[in-house]
Amino acid sequence: MLGFLDLLGTIGGNILSFPGILGLALGMMTRNWMLAAVMGAVVGIMKSLIFAGFHFSSVDMIDLGVAIVIGVLAASVGCAIRHKGATA
């Protein structure tokens, strides 16, 4: 079971890693909210699989869930940046 500081480290690490940065970049490439969210979720899943050596048994479910949520949120923020930048 993860402690509170471990959970905060997992969240911070995902924000500064692939799901946060690549999710934001992929979200900025589209104006479709659903497509951006799906791409962010795929980035979160791929990040967890890459760092687990492509073995589903090595993936921690908390880390996978956090990576998916961070990827979706970052992609949604990227899509919002695209929408706002297109209207300004």
Question: What does pTM read for this prediction?
Answer: 0.89
> What average pLDDT does range 4-10 have in this prediction?
91
Q: Where are the domains of the chain?
A: 4-87
Tens of pLDDT along 15-72?
A: 999 999 999 999 999 999 999 999 999 999 999 999 999 988 889 899 999 999 999 9
Q: State yes or no: pLDDT of 86 exceeds 70.
A: no
Whether pLDDT at 2 is above 80: no
Kindly indicate the confidence band of residue 1, based on its pLDDT and cuts at 50, 70 and 90. low
- pLDDT score for 42: 96
What are residue 7's phi and psi, to 5 degrees? -65, -45
Tell me which residue of 22, 13, 12, 8 sits closest to 72, measured CA to CA.
22
Q: What is the pLDDT of residue 85?
A: 82
What pLDDT does residue 40 have? 96
Number of H helices, E strands in the chain: 4, 0
